[in-house]
Amino acid sequence: MMKNIQLDLLDMHCASCALNIENALKKTEGVVTVNVNYATARAQIEVSDQTLDSNDLIKVVKKAGYTARAKADEVDITAEKDKRYKLLLFRFCFAVILSIPILVISMPLLLAPFGVNPEGLMDFTGRKLILFVLTTPVQIFAGWQFYQGAYKAARAKSTNMDTLVVLGTSAAYLYSVLNTFWLNGDVYYETAALLITFILLGKVLEERAKGKTGQAIKKLMGLKAKMARVLINGREKKLPLDEVKVGDIILVKPGEKIPIDGVVTKGATAIDESMISGEPLPVEKIIGCSVIGATINKNGSIEFRATKVGEGTVLAQIIKLVEAAQGSKAPIQRVADRISAYFVPLILVISLLTFTLWFFLGQGLVFSLMTGISVLVIACPCALGLATPTAIMVGTGKGAGKGILIKSGEALETTHKISTILFDKTGTLTKGKPEVTEVVGADKKKILTMATSLERLSEHSLAEAIIKEATKEKIKVLEANAFASIAGQGITGNIEGRDYYFGNRKLMDSHKISINHFAKELEVLESDGKTVMILGTGRSAIGLIAVADQLKDNAPLVIAAFHKLKIEPVMITGDNALSAKIVAQKVGIKKYFAEVLPQNKAREVEKLQDKGEVVAMVGDGINDSIALTQANVGIALGSGTDVAIESGDIVLVRNNLEDVLASIKLSKFTMAKIKQNLFWAFIYNLVGIPIAAGLLYPIWGIALKPELAGLAMALSSVSVVTNSLLLKFKKI
């Protein structure tokens, strides 16, 4: 039995940090899988050893040079992130305030347009000492987090981005210190100070942008009500949500939030469920209707019985799904991970080679040192590390706001590759609310009586329609004995000492019951797309009951859209071939599978996969659970009040076919962003590192200054996150 443990990681500074932690955890005995997400600063660990707990894994992370803790409440995490962001912003502002005079004193030509004599500033006594005094606080205080990160990595015998920053800035700073107190060369304090300032600027912008990518979780958490009005012995008492129990009666007044999930026991109202369904119009609620926690009661007072509390509520399940998705990795990220694993050591080698090459080519110590530093600080593993997770965070967050719950990065990636999509018929292409249209036979009342007496014990989706018709006709239900349900065929039972069989042709054939005298009626009803159930006793059929399930209004439009996307829609149903054909024709589906038993649906999915198709299965998440699991992507249509977490890779809360289309569009848009991010991250490093190494110097005499290299590095990761945020504006 597997156990999942989540940890918050408090001091990661780059993608290399994430890989260091991930590798340390993977080496721990009893750990099966590890996923460390740099963008969310969270580790998801699956363990087989039940004795392993979060404290054991926290020790492993600490040994690797980092700090972790058991997953905290999102509100606490947000507060801590805000605190860390404010400290980062303060350090940046501190660095800016000191860097301006450092820059002016180092490059007095900047003041020439203002009437200041630059030569006087260059030659005055104590210039180097003043620069030392101004730069040292920037190097030590503002750059402290980089030294801290590099030290932790070194202690764990690894490297990260902090290693590059520390080596680059320290080289410029220490070289300048030597020339201030012992030697008589030029100083480059502005290089060290501006490098730290620009990198801190990038970190500030990156943290701010990363915060925006995770807004979906914050919004969901913010929807929770704090208190509930619980009726105890007829008296109203306000209780915190964690004290409310299943079965409690809760009063909600107009304008208030529904605190938790339940069923209305008194009153009527309209409720704004847009936070769950995305639908703007309020939904009417009367006695017996379900209500969802965090939705808004509009215009009437109601009382309801609590049915789900705590982690069982719809909102809690949605948050759980979104958290899992945003913390997961897409397969495409493996490429970036493999590169990041060797990135920092490779840059250290390239920097050393750059310094050595230029020095032996006679360009002098200063030029060689500056190009070596430029290589160190322009390289950016962060852009690679942020490319995938930030896009996934924005994409899954956008989906959650539309009632599209994508359970993992892998599901998000696979969805855009779908070539064939299977639709269950009942409740998916149709409304799932069948009605009796005809009762055929000599004694219609008897036919309905016997069918209802059998169906009241059945869980079949058509049973409800027959019972509803019997109630309308005031049919008296009889007791049925020896009841048996035969999957894919129908039901049997004994009523008043006689055996009755109610189901399809297969059931009649297996019990040698003749249906020849109803052949014409069967053909007419089935040719109209109706599902016909036969009632038989003895050796002969005595009647037919036809049931019709109306197509969803948007079904033909959605199917047409799939044809345009070059994705083949296929219908799969347990209905007879003729009924299936009629429904398929009405919605515009060319290929269909009929008379497929529930347990055989997965086999049909497998057959398509064997032909090389990437298959999605759309179903209700209950009868189709095996097929949903077998499919490359299982898409479960929810009911709005029951988010089936275990069913499918994508859960559509609204039970709306258009959301199937929207989920595929969302996947395509998100994958496009990931590919753009990875492309620019790779191109940035492939182009930036050679330029920093002095590639253009022999051609145009241009050498990239270290401080400009630092600015480029800082902005590279910001650009990746910003590009991911643009996904918010895509229409799905």
Pairing outcome for strands 615-619 and 633-637: parallel
Which H or E run includes 714?
Answer: helix 706-725
- The Cα 165–Cα 376 span in angstroms is 7
Q: Would you state the torsion angle of the CA atoms of residues 501, 505, 509, 515, taken in this order, to the nearest 10 degrees?
A: 80
Pairing outcome for strands 302-308 and 490-495: unpaired
- The Cα 597–Cα 204 span in angstroms is 58
The single residue of 8, 162, 261, 424 carrying the catalytic annotation is: 424
**Neighbouring-strand partners of residue 436:** 547
- The Cα 193–Cα 710 span in angstroms is 11
Contact between residue 638 and residue 652 where contact means Cβ atoms under 8 Å apart: yes
Strand ranges for 53-168 from DSSP E: 68-70
CB atoms < 10 A from the CB of 548, how many? 18
- The Cα 461–Cα 467 span in angstroms is 11
Contact between residue 449 and residue 455 where contact means Cβ atoms under 8 Å apart: no
Here the tokens at position 557 are 């439009």
Report CA torsion sign: 199, 205, 211, 213: negative
**Neighbouring-strand partners of residue 232:** 235
Residue 266: which of 281, 249, 279 has the closest Cα? 249
At 170, phi and psi to the nearest 5?
Answer: -65, -35
- The Cα 581–Cα 594 span in angstroms is 8
Task: Classify residue 502 by burial, with Cβ atoms within 10 Å: 0-12, 13-18, 19+.
Answer: buried
DSSP per position, 126-145:
THHHHHHHHHHHIIIIITHH
- The Cα 623–Cα 610 span in angstroms is 23
Residue 533: which of 507, 511, 496, 513 has the closest Cα? 507
At 334, phi and psi to the nearest 5?
Answer: -60, -35
Is residue 123 annotated as a catalytic residue, yes or no? no
Residue 717: which of 668, 677, 690 has the closest Cα? 677
Reading phi first (left if > 0) and then psi (alpha if -120 to 50, else beta), residue 77 is in alpha
Here the tokens at position 554 are 């948007």
Pairing outcome for strands 568-572 and 591-593: parallel
Here the tokens at position 667 are 């996947």
State the first-to-last Cα distance of the chain, in angstroms, to the nearest integer: 39
The H helix count followed by the E strand count for the chain is 26, 26
Q: Which residues of 187-216 are buried (b: 16+ CB within 10 A; e: fewer)?
A: bbbbbbbbbbbbbbbbbbbbbebbebbbbb
Which of the residues are catalytic?
424
